[in-house]
A and B are shown apart, each in its own frame.
Chain A
Amino acid sequence: MNELDVLKQLELKTERARLRLLDVIYNSKTGHTGGDLSSLNILATLYFNILNVNPKNKEKKDRDRFILSKGHSIEALYSILEACGFISSEQLNTYGSFNTLLTGHPSHKVPGIEISGGSLGHGLSIGVGMAIGGKLYKLKFRTFVLMGDGELGEGSIYEAAMAASHYKLDHLVAIVDRNGLQISNSTEKVMGLEPLKDRWESLGWDVKESNGDNTSELLKTLKSIDYENHKPTLIIAKTTKGYGVSFMENQLSWHHGVPTEAQYIQAKKEISEKIQKLENTITQ
């Protein structure tokens, strides 16, 4: 496959996962739709093209680690774990049902999930620990932590950020899903984060900005990470909350809104059209 086809395949898989996560939310009548949709592209790009993880060898000592610190975007992660073969379709269909394995935030009991979470501001510390663990064992694995931008209000993150640069954890990558909205308002109205890049650079991080909605650009950014510069990397992935469904984009109400039947049909139609278009353009 040429580079363009690789990209198209990646986009196609992402859109199929997008359709799936909406299915899951619609059927279970629960979920954090807006943040799922802004995180999906990041998760898909990581799992389909970057992370060295394998459902057939989940305990491999030198596997890359991924932590969904913004644990509420779990439906997006589940749809990707299904696509990668960590969980089955039957398992994913149990989401929201009585005594399901699949909780509404990450649980380490789900194959492919490293550690339980859901309370904001925990993931980066654990990522620091994993990266230190990797160094102690002289293993070359990388640790990726996905945080929400609203999550950056949690003070514990800055404890972790300082430790990461202090210990020169260049195999640690934090990604911020910078969709600009949190549950009650825009991040800048609730608790301003800007100048975000400058702040993290001053903490000793190598900061990159990327268009998180654009697979090609995000992939390029992820591939440009320097793992030998003695600095942790932060990627500010500029995204759109509710991305991929026109009427959900940039709408606060979709933070944990669940679509009605009519909205679900409309959303499915939009995504299916995109999928159709992608299938038509793929050469093979």
Chain B
Amino acid sequence: MSQFHIPCRQSFTDTILELAKKDKEIIIVTSDAAGTVTLNKFAKELPSQIIDVGIAEQNAIGVAAGIASVGKKVFVCGPACFYTSRSLEQIKVDIAYSGINVKIIGVNAGVSYGAFGATHHCLHDIATLRTFPGIQIISPSDAIQAKKITEILPDHKNPVYVRMGRNSVPKIYSENNISFEIGKANTLIEGTDITIIGTGETVYHCLQAANLLKKEGISARVIDMHTLKPSDEQAVLKAARETGKIVTVEEHSVYGGLGAIVSEIVVQNYPVPTRILGIPDENVINAKPSEIFAYYKIDAQGIYQEVLDFLQNISNSEK
């Protein structure tokens, strides 16, 4: 499980290339970001199925919507930070409001870019896009899951935003042990004392933290919430009822993302103590992604400590 694999974006591009060789309806739109997305091989092998609009993300979304409206299966691909902020309105109007079936592949999301700084961090995308009616949001936790998602997307009749990181991520799933259904969270470890819910690259750290907690005699359930919208309410409520405490972990602002999604479900249906781990309301510290994860306590060690602290707080308040 600790073996490093390939980045999710690479898994996406390897898969979409194979699919596009057989399905000529698949078209990629990008914005001088073929290299960033790892689409160079695609561009070389299927030049007639890729449209580059230059550094113009707003135009890329509009063009993607236009091509899709004529009937093609369009994937618009580029850095998540730019696509979900500069062209946010194009996503809102040209895709979500218009109900146009475009798949937006946002790569290098979260703090993937590390010390590149706040311009390149993408910590707002779940919060903003989930308010647009009709858009689905998926955040794969490893390359195997990214492959599975990619295989589903061309014929999936709904606009989708897929949020992927930049770096290699450890394997969580294996080729012959992966179930993926949009909107249905995966419970990776059963547990009874607390539930840790992660999404994207934090899922691996949630698993590691659960292993550390196990040594302390704490049974932590771990859920991979790969689909942020539609979110799996049943899995959250089941966790709330059966474990009574929830910690969420995301590579995203603590506002409006996974933590908010889970809290909204819990507080309206079955209130239980919940702690949200993510990036606080500040510009991220300049560091490597792994250092940033550690600094904000969304890596295995940080989650482990936060869970212990959370349990201690609950225990103190019950006294």
Chain A residues close to B by CB (< 8 Å):
61, 108, 114-119, 121-122, 124-134, 136-137, 139, 155-156, 159-160, 162-163, 166-167
Contact = CB atoms under 8 A, between A and B. Distances in A.
Nearest to A107: B97
Contact of B69 (A118, A126, A155): A126
Contact of A163 (B48, B59, B72, B90): B59
Of all A-B residue pairs in the complex, the 6 with the closest CB atoms, nearest first, are A129-B66, A125-B62, A133-B70, A159-B59, A159-B56, A129-B63
B58 A125 contact: yes
B54 to A, nearest CB: 7
Contacts of A132: 51, 63, 66-67
A129 B67 contact: yes
B65 interface: yes
Interface in B7-31: 27
Contact of A126 (B27, B53, B65): B65
A contacts with B: majority SS: helix
A129 B65 contact: yes
Contacts of A124: 62
Contacts of B99: 108, 116
A116 B97 contact: yes
Contacts of A122: 62, 89-90, 93-94
Nearest to B24: A136
B93 A163 contact: no
Contacts of B94: 115-117, 122, 125-126
* Best-surrounded residue of B48, B54, B62, B89 (most CB of chain A within 10 A): B62
A134 B56 CA distance: 21
A105 to B, nearest CB: 10
B59 A133 contact: no
20 contacts: A108-B98, A117-B94, A119-B89, A122-B62, A126-B65, A126-B66, A126-B94, A128-B62, A129-B67, A129-B69, A129-B70, A131-B66, A132-B67, A133-B66, A137-B70, A156-B58, A156-B62, A159-B53, A159-B54, A163-B63
Interface string B262-278: 00000000000000000
A279 B189 CA distance: 80
B100 interface: yes
A155 B98 CA distance: 22
Interface of B: 27, 48, 51, 53-54, 56, 58-59, 61-72, 89-90, 93-94, 97-100
Contacts of B53: 159, 163
Contacts of A167: 51
Given A119-B89, A163-B54, A114 B62 contact: no
Contacts of A125: 58-59, 61-63, 65-66, 90, 94
Nearest to A119: B93
Contacts of A129: 62-70
A280 B216 CA distance: 96
B59 A160 contact: yes
Contacts of B51: 132, 167
B227 to A, nearest CB: 25
Given A115-B98, A117-B93, A136-B27, A130 B69 contact: yes
B69 A114 contact: yes
A115 B58 contact: no
A120 to B, nearest CB: 10
Contacts of A114: 69
Contacts of A117: 93-94, 98
B97 A156 contact: no
Contacts of B63: 125-126, 128-129, 132, 160, 163
* Best-surrounded residue of B54, B56, B61, B66 (most CB of chain A within 10 A): B66
Contact of B100 (A115, A136, A139): A115
Contacts of B59: 125, 128, 156, 159-160, 163
* Best-surrounded residue of A116, A126, A132 (most CB of chain B within 10 A): A126
Contacts of A139: 70
Contact of A162 (B27, B54, B58, B71): B54
